Structure 1
């Protein structure tokens, strides 16, 4: 989403958003000379909230809820998406329904933006703010069409409850060109689609490396895990273990991402998954006890049970980074095996990984 801030030195309202590589910032408008700091900050906060609510229609589409059989959630999301058309009237304070209670979060956020604008004063400043809001709505609609250029580039960093086959195919093509994770994987396609494709290619890399080293694919993931991000490594490990048993890539990866998104909303989507992890967590807790008598009250201490293996704030990006790291780890294990470096070893690794990925292509989508 776009975040808005006040540049107190320049006296301007600024908008900035991520591109997958870094943030872009633009000046929306110069603040009125009479604007008080707290009123300006309130406007920036309300515009950020409106952006968040609008982009949620992209990350949590109605189709994803309806596909899960949740008719109530699907209807509510459809209503939110339909309220894009009411944003301008809610901000302007004109129209037949502006005095009625907002029917959606988007309408409520838009009305609050309008209230802030009327506090700061109408005129050219308000016109520029409204123009920027309309640009934000256009960016969401552009991302829904799969066009991640311009302001819609921020969509590549957003985790989604669903992902289209064309986006996965685009990410798969980038990895086929460079299985080690090219920059375009993070900047040209949505991170959810990129995570699905990267899972497919990580499994191919583990299969190739397993044949060369004799190590199990899951062992390769554990050996090459980033020690600074153990939870993310667990996510990659679960992916490889599931694909090794024949799971379809998109289906399993989306379970992990949807679960994390539900946790971020304060819900629990993967109850069966959590129930499986409780015994493992208890065993891990038992393993940390000393051989001697445990400390007083230790047995009464509850063990931590993670509700999700991914960062709830950015699950798809978190998983993608771990999967790409895993591919690099496979290459390092492949290279180490056999002692002296062989000529053309890197090219051979890439060719073998491409061959494995192609052989399992039917299970990608």
Structure 2
């Protein structure tokens, strides 16, 4: 250690103890963390001064090396909410969405919100009942809220949807393939003389669907939601049948659509098929494909767990992104139900009024 003001170690120690004459280190009483350093005597000899300066520089250097610095954010920055939950990653143990995934899903939600509001406006203009208008408008609000979540620093749900699509897209495409195969089978059956549309008409005449014989019965959105939700849920639960039920539903729906569409198109025209399928089919069919994709993915993950290539059958991130993906598919199904009940029949009657000039109803819609 360096000497005190008089070159005496005892004087320096007295100054540190507070018992000196006060002419020593003016920082007495101050506590510092790190190696202790004594002041340099300005009245020492040149050699002593040089030695003390060198020693002092070495001491400062050692003190700097051992000093711990902690940067604390100010109160404003610390109070700002994080952009997303840092403790939860929807894509954990799954595919990582790309940088534009959240933006793309936000744009899709905007498009669905516009479709829902357009359906509400069309229903308001063509029907007196305000209930379906309020219902589909509320659905539009839900899609709009989903679209603006990233604007409020909460993109986790859209990230979950993006990760869910990446995880299930192969199985959704497989479901589309099964449906397409069923469609081809339906057309082949018609060419072979099997007309399912005539079979359905015979079943109606035999009273197998008594609710359709009620004169006050109407094809409302509630009816389509209830009936279409059954195959939607069965396609997911079909994983318990090793995927056989899910595959059957996809092929069967394809057969019905292919056969009936070919039969009606041959009698009335392709334009009627497009008007009868496209408005609600662009929402309903993807919803069914999503449900089937979830069912096939569940089966595949179970197989991975059984054969030891996966440590856990389900995880929290997997459940989150799968549930988000399935709920999104069901909302598509709900939107399709409103369109099928209040938009498709009006379009058919408007575009094909001449073909159905003597009938009470414009004809069937598909699927």
The TM-score bracket by the shorter chain reads under 0.3
| Structure with higher helix content | 2
Work out which of the two has the higher radius of gyration on C-alpha atoms and give 1 or 2: 2
Q: TM-score, normalised by structure 1?
A: 0.25
Q: TM-score, normalised by structure 2?
A: 0.25
